Amino acid sequence: MPCNTYYSDYVLKICTDADSYSEKATSIDCVAKYGGGSIATFDYSMRVEVWNGHDWVVNEVKKGSFSHSTPAKVFKLKNQKSLKKGKNSARV
């Protein structure tokens, strides 16, 4: 879900660049943000999963740690095995 300022008070939120993607989309961009009061460090694992009709299959994983915000993590759709445009779903 795209980040917006509607929820100004948050501890941790995960944001993508869109709610849904057209067949012309080339990537899913994702950011994790910490809005808590004290400094903390979070380890994260972001992954793209593709629905194959029966199960969610993990295609790509990006890992790291952050204190305030991760750099934008870009998941190129052309790199997602088994993703067929307009045929199935992907999630982060």
pLDDT tens, 27-59? 999 998 888 767 778 899 999 888 888 888 898
Quick check: is 48 in a domain?
A: yes
Give the domain range for residue 73: 12-79
Give the model's pLDDT for residue 33: 86
Q: Which pLDDT tens digit goes with each residue over 15-34?
A: 888 888 877 888 999 998 88
Give the model's pLDDT for residue 8: 61
Quick check: is 84 in a domain?
A: no
Quick check: is 18 in a domain?
A: yes
**56 strand-pairing partners:** 51
- First-to-last alpha carbon distance for the chain, in angstroms, is 10
Quick check: is 85 in a domain?
A: no
Give how many domains the chain has, as a whole number. Answer: 1
Confidence bin at 80 (pLDDT 50/70/90)? confident
Quick check: is 88 in a domain?
A: no
Q: How many residues does the chain have?
A: 92
Instruction: Indicate if the pLDDT at residue 5 is higher than 70.
Output: no
Quick check: is 45 in a domain?
A: yes
